[in-house]
Structure 1
Amino acid sequence: MRANANVCVIIAAKNAAATIGRAVRSALAEPETAEVVVIDDGSSDETAAIARQADDGTARLKIARFEVNQGPAAARNRAISISTAPVIAILDADDFFFPGRLKNLVSHRDWDFIADNIAFVDEENAATAHLALDDFDAAPRAISLLEFIEGNISKRGVRRGEIGFLKPLMRRAFLDEHRLRYQESLRLGEDYDLYVRALTKGARYTIIHSCGYGAVVRGNSLSGSHRTIDLQRLYEADRAILAENTLSGEARTLVSRHERHIRRRYELREFLDVKKRSGAAAALLHALLRPSALPAIAGGILADKTDRFRSRAQAAPVALGGSGALRYLLQQPARDGARRQK
């Protein structure tokens, strides 16, 4: 695909008045952006108005609104339905593109999905964060279904680096050919579910280690909290994939492993919900009546207590300080051993 390919940047936003302007401006600043579609997902603040204020007058910005919150999957599906560009880029409402990101991505060939590295930036310094894209070795590589699923099973005591956090560009033609859209019942892991289903249908997913996406670390981010039912719906989505009977033996084993991983988190959360709502005795009875959930409950409680004594150095993103330090999702040494800060 040519470097000047048209890209639609879709932004699902709820109560994002503080950050939506930055996100929209960063998307419109990319010459490869043909459209920016913002879906105001039932906001109670001035999200839509602030987004309009970020318009650059090129008629590329489109804004639609849900009167009642429907979740990021529904908002993204709506954005896809009203856009026309052949390439779709996802941008969260509190994040931003570093200059040159889209040109760098679309310059690569032979992909249906392509993702670059993510730099984690603290909110305080997001306005001044910058990097030079040519300071990174792209090191493009194809990612398999097996590697993708494995990369989405988090491990305690290991710095979070799930591949599912990446924000790939997606070819509309592939999505349409295979009738792929976000599963709107999911409010957690909707990206993981879409990418797994795409990979089972033969999607070519390329990852490059160059960095162009800025993810702003905020304490009240929705990605950091979720409901018990969201965990249930996510493991049920894995079960739906397994029910299609299109997976190889190894892939089926890994999807089943991910399903168990999420289900165990759900079982622990359900136990804690009962305890909070009805007390320790009711929670104990709840656990005893579900013997298959006991290992998840006991193991989760033990691990949570152990975590109190762990260092937070690995789990917490490094704040962007005076030295301009950034933490990256994909670990890749900079070209010539150092990142140049402009």
Structure 2
Amino acid sequence: MSGVSVIIPAYRAEATIGRAAASLLAQTHPAWEALIVADDGADYAAVLAGAGIADSRFRFLTTGRIAAGAPAARNAGLAAAALPLVAPLDADDLYHPRRLETLVPLALEHGAAADNVAVVRDRDGAALGTLFAPSAGVRMLDADGFLATSVPLFLMVARRLCPPWPEDMRFSDDVVFNLRVLERTGRLPVALAPLYEYRQRDGSITVGDDAAERADRDYRHMLDRLERDGLGLTDGDLRRRTADAIQAKRALNAAFSTAHQAGRVTTFQEYLSTCGKLCAIPHPGA
């Protein structure tokens, strides 16, 4: 049975880390380790113990810094990962019980795999939508299909193919990471059952009043990196298509900023759910 190293960055995560950990304990696929990487100096082993959670599969690491960022924490976890597959889990999110069981065979066959993502408002549990229409099937996703999405996609990747997360980004590191994986695999399967719960939590980096500004700063930085070093992508045509998609994402982010300033929505995902664009963003010329 192939195992999965689940990497959990933890920054001021005392209120939610127990929920994330419990979702791993509930997995029907038992071959996993969880690398909880403190980015705030906290003792998360003690936090979990206080919640009655103790399991030898939990390993506790640190970035050695304060607020180095989730990408730096994930890279620390990646360096320590011991199992053939790697998967991220944010400390305020959770896996549904069959997530690992579903994705492991797909990732072993294709080098990487993902599942549908359910977006949930944390304060009241309201469902804001899913990345794709839920079903029991599997669809194949290429780089262009991924660039058209507007909900984070959390990949399970063969460790031998796993690139580092870009530490110079805070909002869009997952976009760059996923593109690097897709350039290596070509396509990857996405299980259409929503098995990852992406929680929109008040006070988190993606929900603050400056979220649109932060996102646009990352988008501008990505465009600059594409010109300077290609973001680590070797395919020139993919770099060009990525630049076009980022400009489209900037336009959508600007529309969200306007709606947020007018008090019509609180978060980007709420904006997408209200305007019917949860699954995709427009591409220039499309």
- Give the TM-score range, shorter chain: 0.7 to 0.9
The aligned amino acid for 1:220 is: G
Aligned-partner Cα distance in 1 for 2:56–2:233: 45
Write the mapping of 1:114-133 to structure 2, written as runs, cut at 5 A.
Answer: 114-124=113-123
Q: Which of the numbers 70, 73, 82 marks the counterpart of 1:72?
A: 70
Q: Which of the numbers 38, 41, 60 marks the counterpart of 1:40?
A: 38
Please say if 1:197 is aligned against 2:180: yes
Cα drift, residue 36 of structure 1: 0.6
CA shift in 2, pair 1:203/1:112, >3 Å: farther
CA shift in 2, pair 1:212/1:330, >3 Å: farther
Match of 1:290 in 2: none
Moved over 6 A (4+): 262-266, 306-311
The aligned amino acid for 1:93 is: A
Aligned-partner Cα distance in 1 for 2:103–2:120: 21
Match of 1:110 in 2: 109
Aligned-partner Cα distance in 2 for 1:139–1:315: 28
Instruction: Please give the secondary structure, in 1, of the residue aligned with 2:110.
Output: coil
Match of 2:60 in 1: 63
Write the mapping of 1:151-190 to structure 2, written as runs, cut at 5 A.
Answer: 151=149, 162-163=150-151, 165-175=152-162, 180-190=163-173
Q: Which has the higher strand share?
A: 2
Q: Which of the numbers 140, 145, 170 marks the counterpart of 2:138?
A: 140
Cα drift, residue 200 of structure 1: 2.2
Structure 2, unmatched stretches of 5+, are: 128-133, 272-277, 281-286
CA shift in 2, pair 1:303/1:312, >3 Å: closer
Cα drift, residue 72 of structure 1: 0.7
Cα drift, residue 92 of structure 1: 0.5
Write the mapping of 1:74-89 to structure 2, written as runs, cut at 5 A.
Answer: 74-89=72-87
Instruction: Please give the secondary structure, in 2, of the residue aligned with 1:110.
Output: helix
Aligned-partner Cα distance in 2 for 1:243–1:98: 32
Match of 2:194 in 1: 211
Cα drift, residue 24 of structure 1: 1.1
Aligned-partner Cα distance in 1 for 2:87–2:256: 37
Aligned-partner Cα distance in 1 for 2:187–2:215: 32
Cα drift, residue 196 of structure 1: 1.0
The aligned amino acid for 1:62 is: R
Cα drift, residue 240 of structure 1: 4.6
Q: Which one has the largest radius of gyration?
A: 1
**Conservation of the 8 A alpha-carbon contact between 1:27 and 1:33:** no
Instruction: Please give the secondary structure, in 2, of the residue aligned with 1:85.
Output: coil
Cα drift, residue 103 of structure 1: 0.8
**Conservation of the 8 A alpha-carbon contact between 2:20 and 2:91:** yes
The aligned amino acid for 1:141 is: R
Instruction: Please give the secondary structure, in 2, of the residue aligned with 1:197.
Output: helix
Question: Which stretch of structure 1 is more off in the superposition, 189-198 or 10-19?
Answer: 189-198
Aligned-partner Cα distance in 1 for 2:115–2:231: 32
**Conservation of the 8 A alpha-carbon contact between 2:114 and 2:155:** yes
Tell me the TM-score normalised to structure 1 length: 0.65
- State the aligned residue count: 262
Aligned-partner Cα distance in 2 for 1:265–1:314: 13
The aligned amino acid for 2:235 is: L
Structure 1, unmatched stretches of 5+, are: 130-135, 152-161, 267-299, 319-328, 332-342
Aligned-partner Cα distance in 1 for 2:259–2:118: 29
**Conservation of the 8 A alpha-carbon contact between 1:117 and 1:211:** yes
Aligned-partner Cα distance in 2 for 1:140–1:61: 30
Write the mapping of 1:1-342 to structure 2, written as runs, cut at 5 A.
Answer: 4-30=1-27, 31-43=29-41, 47=44, 49-53=46-50, 56-65=53-62, 66-108=64-106, 110-124=109-123, 137-151=135-149, 162-163=150-151, 165-175=152-162, 180-224=163-207, 225=211, 226=214, 229-240=217-228, 242=230, 246-247=234-235, 249=237, 251-261=238-248, 305=258, 312=265, 317=270
* Identity level (%): 24
Aligned-partner Cα distance in 1 for 2:215–2:240: 27
**Conservation of the 8 A alpha-carbon contact between 1:235 and 1:262:** no
Give RMSD over aligned pairs: 3.7
The aligned amino acid for 1:210 is: A
**Conservation of the 8 A alpha-carbon contact between 1:88 and 1:171:** yes
Aligned-partner Cα distance in 1 for 2:49–2:79: 20
